[in-house]
């Protein structure tokens, strides 16, 4: 893609970024900094940090970056939904695409060019882009997990929220958006999107491996799988959330 084409894509695509937070002071700055190329190019029109009641410096980090911090009921589903409403209703910013991103995830350089191209491609207004999953850990177990996530995404159409989600506002609204769930809000939305309408981006989203280092890769992976199984068995998400922590 030539520079002229990239600039054209940036001009046509207006992206709002939504990041849910709770005591995310330690990781949020790196996440926000990875968005800077999109702000410089004009792709990113607004960054909304939706906080669920942090007691650390999360709001200060968001404000220093120039993001718009807002408060919402704690829970990723309700926070993401509140962020989408905020980012999509500011007429001055005219946001038509949304990027949902976790507060401990860093986007690889060049992400803005790929996302702009994806959003500007005819027919993609009813498709959803997801990034390639990576962990910030050199352990061999991290590489195995990354391959498993790629397989799960490609063959089952089941990306999780830590892979990011790029979606047109009108399509997001037509799907009913994020529901106010304390957990599995990403799986709930992805199931409504459907595998055929997912597009795997080449750009990597690197997520913190802190939980895996703390709990052990095998134990944490087994717990995540159990949570997913319980969700499919229709166990209420607020009960699953107690197991997930």
CB atoms within 10 A of CB 71: 13
Was domain 3-209 assigned CATH 1.10.10.10? no
pLDDT in tens, 82-122: 999 998 665 555 789 999 999 999 999 999 999 999 999 99
Q: Model confidence over 215-233: pLDDT tens digits?
A: 999 999 999 999 999 999 9
Give the count of alpha carbons within 13 A of 182, CB side only.
14
User: For residue 162, what are the CA distances in angstroms to 3, 6, 41, 131?
Assistant: 30, 26, 24, 9
The residues spanned by each domain of the chain are 3-209
- What pLDDT score was predicted for residue 88? 66
Residue 168 φ/ψ, nearest 5 degrees: -70, 140
Checking if the pLDDT of 184 tops 90, the result is yes
Sign of CA dihedral 83, 84, 89, 93: positive
> How do strand 198-207 and strand 128-135 relate by DSSP bridges?
parallel
Model pTM? 0.93
């Amino acid at each position: 893609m030539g520079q002229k084409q990239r600039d054209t894509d940036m001009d046509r695509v207006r992206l709002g970024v939504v990041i849910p937070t709770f005591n995310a002071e330690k990781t949020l700055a790196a996440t926000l900094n990875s968005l800077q190329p999109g702000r410089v190019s004009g792709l990113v029109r607004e960054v909304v940090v939706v906080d669920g009641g942090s007691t650390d410096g999360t709001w200060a980090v968001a404000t220093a970056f120039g993001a718009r911090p807002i408060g919402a009921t704690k829970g990723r589903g309700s926070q993401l939904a509140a962020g989408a409403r905020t980012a999509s209703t500011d007429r001055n910013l005219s946001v038509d695409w949304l990027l949902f991103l976790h507060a401990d995830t860093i986007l690889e350089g060049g992400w803005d060019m790929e996302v702009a191209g994806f959003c500007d491609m005819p027919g993609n207004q009813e498709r959803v882009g997801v990034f390639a999953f990576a962990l910030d850990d050199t352990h061999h177990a991290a590489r195995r997990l990354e391959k498993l996530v790629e397989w799960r995404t490609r063959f089952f159409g089941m990306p999780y929220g830590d892979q990011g989600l790029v979606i047109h506002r009108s399509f997001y609204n037509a799907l009913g958006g994020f529901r106010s769930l304390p957990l599995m809000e990403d799986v709930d939305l992805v199931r409504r999107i459907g595998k055929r309408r997912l597009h795997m981006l080449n750009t990597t989203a690197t997520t913190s491996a802190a939980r895996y280092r703390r709990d052990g890769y095998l134990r944490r992976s087994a717990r995540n799988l159990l949570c997913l199984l319980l969700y499919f068995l229709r166990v209420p998400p607020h009960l699953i959330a107690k197991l997930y922590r």
